[in-house]
Copies of this chain bind each other. A is one copy, B any other.
Amino acid sequence: MSAKSVSIGICGLGTVGSGTFNVLRENAALIAARAGVSVQVTHVGARRDNADCDLSGIRVSRDIFQVADDPQVTILVELIGGTMTARELVERAIRAGKHVVTANKALIAEHGNALFALANAHGVEVRYEAAIAGGVPIVKALREGLAGNRIEWLAGIINGTANFILTEMRDKGRDFADVLVEAQALGYAEADPSFDVEGTDAAHKLVILASLAFGMPLQFESVYTEGITRLEPQDVAYARELGYSIKHLGIAKQNGAGVELRVHPTLIPHRRLLANVDGVKNAILVEGDAVGPTLYYGAGAGSRPTASAVVADLIDLARATAFNDVRGLPSLGIERSELRDLPIVDMENVDTPWYLRMEAEDRPGVLSRVASLFSDQGISIEALIQKAPVYGETLVSVIVLTNRARQGNVDAAVGEIERLDCITGKVVRIRVEELDG
């Protein structure tokens, strides 16, 4: 084997940084055998040491920018998180002619277009396998493994915290707020959980997946995002009775009108593999025109799973660097000149089946009035179910499952329904996806 070595600088020594440092060290011989070259961390930039990492013999800087300026470092690993300093750091590394590996989905989703252009101008690469679904090699699958396919759609469980909460709500009939407190105690959710439960984190990941799948620049501002905070246990239970699980999905779909980019709670049939992806795990279902449906599953976060993805990128780049690959892979898996700004479909025109629940007075004629309002909008109904009234209550839950219907039509029908005097409060609306591509 080659006696060569590639020098790595790691910035950030938190959860993922320490995992990466330790995986590179523990599996050093195996990694060298796979890369064809030794992959050595020579410089660590971190505000403080981490007791999990033995930094002896390694240059340590409190100022992370010193890693970007270190001429010995060939590949800089950005694991500090955030978008302001991280962006400055990555730009400085690129300008210094270094390849960059990052786990930072916010950075790539929000600033990827500029960073990729800069990297291209400097003849270096930015890799980000770890930014989506932790250690699951989904970026590589879309960029290379399925490269012969026109990707038609993808749907993913790409936030482990939200999936943990939904799994507990379904399996134990618990409230959102109650499970959230437990998720925080377990370290799955941050003190400020809004990033996870409002869907921003999933939106970051979705926009990257969509760009890889469809060959378009990143369009973070175009993602429709709806969180899980308002989900009620009774809807989780009713969905279950009807043969569905509610999952928080990121969905990207390409059709004649453009691209749909949306993150929202979704009813999916129990028997689908995605419905059986529970707890903090992630999975992405991808439909290609040649391959049909494929699915990728694994840990979506955590120190060592995320490190696995960072190290995979490092091995690719180390091999390319050591053996003089003169031209790397394009950042989004497609030549820059071939990227196309595809139109994003307005949510009003997105077409899905729907689960709707309303609270109605328990008297004759209610169902027929509701049904006729759907019919007026051209919406056909798959099932209309009136639950037995709870003892002592005068209101009953009415559940409607529709066939595919434009959101615009559903909005109109729901507006009329909410004006009926036999209906109390707002209509609960959750999209359905059959995922039977």
A residues near B (Cβ < 8 Å) are 1, 19, 23-24, 26-27, 30-31, 33-36, 129, 134-137, 140-141, 144-150, 215, 271, 273, 276-277, 283, 288-299, 302, 304-305, 307-312, 314-316, 319-320, 323-327, 329-330, 333-335, 337-338
Contacts and interface: CB of A to CB of B under 8 A. Distances in A.
A144 B316 contact: yes
A293 B298 contact: yes
A17 B7 CA distance: 44
Contact of A295 (B292, B296, B326): B296
Contacts of A320: 325
A149 B27 contact: yes
A308 B146 contact: yes
A181 B323 CA distance: 53
Considering residues A35, A147, A314, which has the most beta carbons from chain B within 10 angstroms of its beta carbon?
A: A147
A271 B281 CA distance: 14
A308 B148 contact: yes
A313 to B, nearest CB: 9
A324 B327 CA distance: 8
B298 A1 contact: no
Per DSSP, chain A at the interface is: mixed
Contact of A33 (B1, B304, B338): B338
A148 B297 contact: no
A229 to B, nearest CB: 28
Contacts of A302: 292
A145 B312 contact: yes
Nearest to A282: B294
A308 to B, nearest CB: 4
A334 B36 CA distance: 8
B137 A146 contact: yes
Given A27-B148, A31-B147, A273-B297, 15 more contacts: A1-B338, A30-B215, A129-B145, A137-B141, A137-B146, A146-B308, A148-B307, A148-B308, A148-B315, A289-B304, A290-B311, A291-B298, A292-B298, A295-B296, A295-B297
A305 B329 contact: no
A312 B148 contact: yes
Contacts of A298: 291-295
Copies in the complex: 2
Contacts of A309: 145, 291
Closest 6 CB pairs of A and B: A137-B145, A148-B311, A135-B291, A294-B298, A33-B338, A291-B308
B148 A144 contact: no
Nearest to A327: B323
A297 B299 contact: no
Contacts of A27: 148-150, 289-290
A331 B87 CA distance: 37
Contact of A276 (B134, B148, B273, B319): B273
Contacts of A297: 273, 294-297
Contacts of A324: 326-327
Nearest to A336: B1
A215 B129 CA distance: 23
8 contacts: A135-B291, A137-B294, A144-B315, A146-B308, A147-B316, A291-B304, A297-B297, A324-B326
Given A137-B144, A312-B147, A305 B276 contact: no
Considering residues A27, A31, A294, A314, which has the most beta carbons from chain B within 10 angstroms of its beta carbon?
A: A294
Considering residues A33, A324, A325, A326, which has the most beta carbons from chain B within 10 angstroms of its beta carbon?
A: A33
Contact of A290 (B19, B316, B335): B19
A145 to B, nearest CB: 3
A137 to B, nearest CB: 3
B290 A34 contact: no
A30 B144 contact: no
Nearest to A142: B137
Considering residues A276, A289, A292, A330, which has the most beta carbons from chain B within 10 angstroms of its beta carbon?
A: A292
Contacts of A338: 1, 33
A171 to B, nearest CB: 11
